[in-house]
């Protein structure tokens, strides 16, 4: 009885070995085959047992051979698994090194191009700095306005409608507020850095001094205003966060909408109907209201996110996956399975052909097979029908000590 490879199911991980662990009966059968092969073929090199210091080579028993086979099988499987993991680590290291070298080459090419390009004077530097500074300040202004609208809407939800926002929304808003604050600090530091250089250029170009000073003063005033707005925004956001933390998100808390109490003198539905009857139709205000509603809807759709996708992206980007050998290990296992399948197929065909030839020769008049029970010099097809179909064993130092090999034809 041979140890044939077991097909791997698609649900198993890539660390699954090529050959599943044989049963105790298979190990005992293999040990009996080894003992019989040693007794019938004296020239066969003996199996070298594991050195434990308690037994002799001449007193190897079936149980000892079974123990040695199990130990060698486990060692081979562990070595295969370790080699797959080492191969994956090496491939990852090689890819990251190649990416780093490619980035360095790109940066070196960019520096070389800048060095070969004709560098402009102070006026060109100021013009480019003005464009960059204006673009950055406008971007921060847009971000601050969006954050103000979002925080005001969140304030109404929390204080008036008593709706608790999701933790993901609060986390995203907090990250946007932090990035805006950092960008404002960077802009302020940038202006402090470029002011002496600009002043030195103004001494040589008196024609543009007034316009550029006004531009810089405008930017400073704009940044100061934006910092004040951002400070108020951060304060309101902090209050909202405290209200949410104090209120809590218990399981027994009702999440239903509670409208605010009516104002003094409000008569309910009758008052609303009177206001609707006396309201003036203004198409422009209606169009503005529709646009505001569409903008709010667009922001709501943009703020939606898949929690599972975000968690999965963080898990993958953080490289928290267990090293199992990667795609190369799967490909190696697949090739090994194909090789073993081809070996077993051709080995069985060759042995069936040899068995049929031996049976024909015995029936023609030799008579040695039926009387002695031996089918030939290298086979056991006469007296041991179970070994007639078994593939030959390779006792040499190969990659797999118990894998079937093709019989010579």
Q: What pLDDT is attached to residue 186?
A: 93
Q: 34: burial class by Cβ within 10 Å (0-12, 13-18, 19+)?
A: buried
**Residue 71 contacts residue 51 (beta carbons within 8 Å):** no
CB atoms within 10 A of CB 207: 7
Alpha helices (runs of H) in 248-278, residue ranges in sequence order:
269-278
Do 15 and 325 form a contact (C-beta atoms < 8 A)? Answer: yes
What lies within 8 Å, CB to CB, of 338 at 6+ separation is none
> Using CA atoms, how far apart are residues 402 and 71, in angstroms rounded to an integer?
12
Whether 403 contacts 342, CB under 8 Å: no
Specify whether the CB–CB gap between 18 and 333 falls below 8 A: yes
The answer to whether 180 and 143 have CB atoms below 8 angstroms apart is yes
Cβ pair 17, 328 in contact under 8 A? no
Q: Are 344 and 391 in contact (CB under 8 A)?
A: yes
List average pLDDT for each run of 10 residues in the chain, which is 409 residues long.
42 47 81 77 52 45 80 90 92 94 93 72 83 93 92 88 86 91 93 90 78 89 94 92 80 61 69 76 84 88 78 76 78 90 88 74 46 40 40 43 42
Q: The tokens of 261 are what?
A: 């109490």
Alpha carbons within 13 angstroms on the beta-carbon side of residue 65 total 21
Could you tell me the two tokens for 201?
A: 């250029």
Cross-strand bridge partners of residue 392 = 405
For the whole model, what pTM was predicted? 0.41
């Amino acid at each position: 009885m041979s140890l044939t490879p077991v097909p791997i199911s698609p649900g198993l991980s890539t660390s699954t070995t090529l050959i599943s662990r044989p049963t105790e009966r298979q190990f005992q059968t293999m040990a009996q085959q080894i003992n019989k092969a040693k007794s019938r073929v004296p020239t066969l090199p003996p199996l070298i047992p594991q050195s434990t210091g308690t037994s002799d080579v001449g007193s190897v028993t079936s149980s000892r051979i079974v123990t040695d086979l199990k130990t060698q099988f486990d060692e081979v499987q562990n070595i295969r698994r370790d080699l797959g993991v080492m191969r994956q680590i090496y491939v990852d290291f090689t890819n990251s090194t190649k990416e780093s070298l490619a980035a360095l080459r790109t940066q070196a090419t960019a520096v070389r191009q800048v060095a070969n390009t004709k560098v402009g004077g102070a006026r060109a530097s100021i013009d480019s700095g003005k464009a960059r500074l204006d673009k950055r300040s406008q971007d921060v202004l847009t971000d601050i306005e969006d954050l103000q609208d979002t925080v005001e809407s969140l304030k109404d939800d929390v204080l008036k409608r008593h709706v608790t926002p999701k933790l993901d929304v609060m986390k995203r808003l907090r990250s946007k507020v932090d990035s805006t604050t950092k960008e404002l600090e960077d802009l302020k530091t940038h202006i402090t850095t470029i002011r002496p250089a600009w002043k030195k250029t103004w001494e040589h170009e008196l024609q543009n001094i007034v316009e550029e000073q006004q531009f810089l003063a405008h930017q400073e005033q704009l940044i100061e205003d934006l910092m004040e707005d951002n400070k108020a925004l951060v304060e309101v956001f902090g209050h909202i966060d405290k209200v949410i933390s104090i209120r809590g998100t218990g399981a027994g808390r009702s999440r239903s909408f509670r409208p605010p109490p009516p104002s003094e003198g409000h008569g309910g539905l009758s008052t609303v109907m009177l206001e609707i009857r006396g309201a003036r139709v203004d198409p422009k205000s209606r169009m503005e209201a529709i646009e505001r509603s569409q903008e709010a809807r667009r922001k709501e759709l943009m703020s939606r996110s898949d929690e599972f996708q975000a968690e999965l992206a963080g898990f993958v980007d953080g490289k928290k996956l267990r090293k199992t050998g990667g795609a190369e290990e799967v490909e190696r296992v697949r090739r090994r399975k194909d090789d073993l399948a081809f070996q077993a197929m051709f080995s069985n065909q060759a042995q069936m052909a040899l068995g049929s030839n031996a049976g024909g020769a015995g029936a023609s008049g030799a008579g040695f097979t039926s009387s002695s029970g031996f089918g030939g010099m290298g086979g056991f097809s006469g007296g041991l029908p179970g070994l007639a179909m078994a593939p030959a064993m390779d006792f040499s130092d190969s990659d797999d000590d118990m894998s079937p090999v093709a019989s010579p034809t």
